[in-house]
Amino acid sequence: MAEPRLINADLHCHSVVSDGTLSPGDLVDRAHRNGVQILALTDHDEVAGLAEARARAEELGVGFVAGVEVSVTWASETIHVVGLRIDERDPSLLRGLDETREGRDARAREIAQQLERAGIPDAYEGALKYSGNPELISRSHFARYIVETGSCEDVSEVFGRFLVEGKPGFVPHRWARLADAVAWIRNAGGVAVMAHPGRYHRLGSLGLDELLAAFRDAGGRAIEVVSGSHTPSQYGEFEAVALRYGFDASRGSDFHGPGESRHDLGSLPPLPASLAPVWRDWPQARALERT
Ligand code: AMP
Ligand code: MN
Ligand code: MN
Ligand code: MN
């Protein structure tokens, strides 16, 4: 019987439907090859890839969880909230995601204007080439285009020199409200998970405390502890945070594509033994316990 904590669950990744580079089906193939037993596809602000991913997961016998990663603005910072086990047909969730996607095109045009002034012309068209879904045009697509121009070696260099506050190509944007994003997820039957809390260092530790308290008060249930966006020392830091707040814990690579992401699907270490895995009572986990 598999101890829930030791199930290879990867509950955070992206396909071409948002800013990943693999199709939903190819993503599931790769997860299966890597030994993932429960996979959640969590495209940014969009659920359109879930049907294809679920169908492939059923063929391969991979446990599948419908997910989404909602972009939120809280205290002027961009925060990501992952929804897991959502009903992707839920009308109010779909309306909320639809509203959240609005404005990406106008923002992309402004990003391109700034990049042009910084010596990188035609970036709007360039970024669109990398986007499988123009409604979800994102900084990742611009980053890939900037690498293509030869101005940077790789995407992580881009996010040091461009597209972030204080650098060319940064256009602030107002995403969904925290309480709304959590409510959409919960009303759609899902669990709200704070994505990669270790990435919000600009909030400072007091700000992070406030954020997590607001998230819990809004109905947030879990935080990502073992995340591809965390350093190993942050696994321990957020283990303590999860215990202090009584959050369940999640594990996810935040994989975007081969050659781009530091951590492949299903490759991160297990959650610390002190934590309650967010998937422990799910049917996908129970099915594995019986085998
Ligand atoms: P957007 O939603 O358009 O603001 O784009 C955000 C996306 O950019 C994130 O989901 C990541 O995929 C990517 N991103 C942000 N910061 C970095 C970084 N430092 N290194 C690599 N990718 C990043
Ligand atoms: Mn992304
Ligand atoms: Mn994220
Ligand atoms: Mn992500």
pLDDT in tens, 28-67: 999 999 999 999 999 999 999 999 999 999 999 999 999 9
Nearest CA to ligand 1 atom 2: 138
**Residue bearing tokens 């611009």:** 142
| SS3 per-residue string spanning 96-141 | HHHHHHCCHHHHHHHHHHHHHHCCCCCHHHHHHHCCCCHHHCCHHH
Instruction: Report yes or no: 39 and 279 within 8 Å, Cβ to Cβ.
Output: no
Average pLDDT, the chain: 97
Q: What is the pLDDT of residue 290?
A: 72
Q: What is the pLDDT of residue 132?
A: 84
Q: How many helices (H) and strands (E) does the chain have?
A: 11, 7
Q: What is the pLDDT of residue 284?
A: 96
pTM over 0.85: yes
Q: Is 46 in the pocket of ligand 1 (CB under 6 A)?
A: no
Return the percentage of the chain with pLDDT > 90, whole number.
97
Mutate to test the pocket of ligand 1, among 14, 139, 141, 158 (most ligand atoms within 8 A of CB): 139
Q: What is the pLDDT of residue 184?
A: 98
* Euclidean distance between CA atoms 14 and 8, whole angstroms: 18
Band (pLDDT 50/70/90 cuts) for residue 279 is very high
Band (pLDDT 50/70/90 cuts) for residue 289 is confident
> Of all atoms in ligand 1, which is nearest to the CA of residue 140?
8
- Give the ligand with the smallest distance to the CA of 197: 3
Q: What is the mean pLDDT of residues 85-110?
A: 98
Q: What is the pLDDT of residue 1?
A: 55
pLDDT in tens, 112-155: 999 999 999 999 999 999 998 999 999 999 999 999 999 999 99
- Give the ligand with the smallest distance to the CA of 17: 2
Instruction: Report yes or no: 271 and 30 within 8 Å, Cβ to Cβ.
Output: no
* Euclidean distance between CA atoms 146 and 166, whole angstroms: 17
- Give the ligand with the smallest distance to the CA of 196: 3
Q: Is 45 in the pocket of ligand 1 (CB under 6 A)?
A: no
* Euclidean distance between CA atoms 27 and 30, whole angstroms: 5
**Residue bearing tokens 């934590």:** 275
pLDDT at residue 291 greater than cutoff 90: no
Mutate to test the pocket of ligand 1, among 13, 19, 145 (most ligand atoms within 8 A of CB): 19
65 contact partners, CB below 8 Å, separation of at least 6 = 11, 38, 39, 40, 84, 85, 279, 282, 284
Q: Which of 11-15, 117-121, 129-133, 272-276 has the lowest mean pLDDT?
A: 129-133
Q: Is 12 in the pocket of ligand 1 (CB under 6 A)?
A: no
CA distances from 206 to 77, 212, 272, 284 (A): 14, 10, 25, 37
What residues does the ion ligand 2 have nearby, CB within 5 Å?
19
Nearest CA to ligand 1 atom 18: 159
Nearest CA to ligand 1 atom 5: 139
> Of all atoms in ligand 1, which is nearest to the CA of residue 104?
3
Q: Give me the long-range contacts of 161-169 (CB less than 8 A, separation at least 24).
A: 162/115, 162/118, 162/120, 163/111, 163/139, 168/114, 168/115, 168/117, 168/118, 168/120, 169/111, 169/114, 169/115, 169/118, 169/123, 169/139, 169/142
Return the percentage of the chain with pLDDT > 70, whole number.
99
Band (pLDDT 50/70/90 cuts) for residue 282 is very high
Q: What is the mean pLDDT of residues 271-279?
A: 98
Q: What is the pLDDT of residue 72?
A: 98
